[in-house]
Structure 1
Amino acid sequence: MSLHFSVLASGSTGNAIYVETDKHSFLVDAGLSGKKIDGLFQQIDRDPKKLSGILVTHEHSDHVKGIGIVARKYRLPIYANEKTWKAMEGAIGEIPLEQKFIFGMETVQSFGALNIESFGVSHDAAEPMFYTFHYNEKKLVIITDTGYVSDRMKGTISNADTYVFESNHDVQMLRMGRYPWSIKRRILSDVGHVSNEDAAIAMSEVIGDRTKRIYLAHLSQDNNMKELARMSVSQTLKSQGIVVGEQVNLYDTDPLIPTSLTAV
């Protein structure tokens, strides 16, 4: 009767997260090819045709690339808010009406004992939102693709057992890197992505007594490294009075290799 999850893939090339209880299982985003997603499910010994549905965060291709393929192949329900549905329709292809469901912003949908809460983030998409999973007094928060973490977001996501938290870029690497200035400006903006340091400051303000695990997610391939993200987040958390390895533990995610299926 526990809540389990695996970050199947995370990064600028594609994102997908698997969450399960004893009776329901969901895929949050499917930003890779259908073939790759099937391979990731094999690696965690799970069958995608048994999914209860797919939850969509926003319409960017690294989050929706495989949604139409997977949903049609396994006849899965897709849940997204109305603006996201309109924005992604051209990218995911024709979806039968009986597989299309609205999951409104700032709402809760219940699937047996599993309550899934949506919350808005600040990103340059139609109406981006992420999800908090509540099950048997356990709380899992997924939050990536946001330019900053507002007080409203912090109130929603505070004191989770486990976080999958964006730690997108190192500011210095981004500023010195090969991206054109227009893209750098977008990433650094309030509707872009949070840096390692900004992510850690936000983490320090939501970590609670029950928080044990933080997965650093959506790392930029060009403007970050796992070791750098861990070091930056650890140092910033320490400056805020939170010692990694004592109060909380940090874990990597990867664009190609899923994390082990873990209890929240």
Structure 2
Amino acid sequence: MSIPAFGLGTFRLKDQVVIDSVSTALELGYRCIDTAQIYGNEAEVGKALSDSGVPRDEVFITTKIWVDNLSRDMLADSLKDSLDRLRTDRVDLTLIHWPSRTVPAAESLEALARAQSDGLTRAFGISNFTTAQMQEAIDAVGAQQIATNQVELHPYLQNRKVADFARQHGIHITSYMTLAYGKVLKDPVLEAIAARHDATPVQVALAWAMQLGYAVIPSSTRRDNLESNLRSRDLRLSDEDMAQIAALDRGERLTSPASIAPEWD
């Protein structure tokens, strides 16, 4: 199953804000929505999807299992709870949100494989996994079973070791935080590239990631930004543009919660 190259992220969006964001995105033509148990907004995402009138089979829904629910005894039930909140009988993709420090990856992945067999999810994958943890996942279920590794990846943290390892094993990469919490908006290199293409720095950053083969899931609460972000799909950057963005990498990680973050590559 292929992962859509472009979708809507819902991290940090709550209550009516996330309902409005998802509703507007669906109206504009978005057909991929990314959420997670820990976001606390699955019910609101489910309401927006249900009220939108867009047929369920036309929308690709991703959710993520939180670290407290990764044991074989808890994972399936927690996913069923997510399905209830999302008002659907199955999601398209379920990810291990962060690697557990107490539950072996093999246990969680085997539970996800059973959930897939039971029809609760069409595919499953991982998020925030290092190269060593990806190898553990491959050893557990095989690389062909791992639909994606969703990781922080933006012009200032290009995560090349993880991305290269994933590519070598045929594992897709989904980039989250592609806009680096908005830092790309004022980057002079991205501004110059954007000016050459009559685009915006945000569109350039998103197009860069997609051109490298990654999926992107930017979030927004404003209709004009949601619409503008969509246009990044039509932007084609030159080899020179791509090389200039490659040179921006400085290993600047923006999210690394001490209680759950692994030892990064």
TM-score of the superposed pair, with normalisation by structure 1: 0.38
Structure in which a larger fraction of residues adopt strand: 1
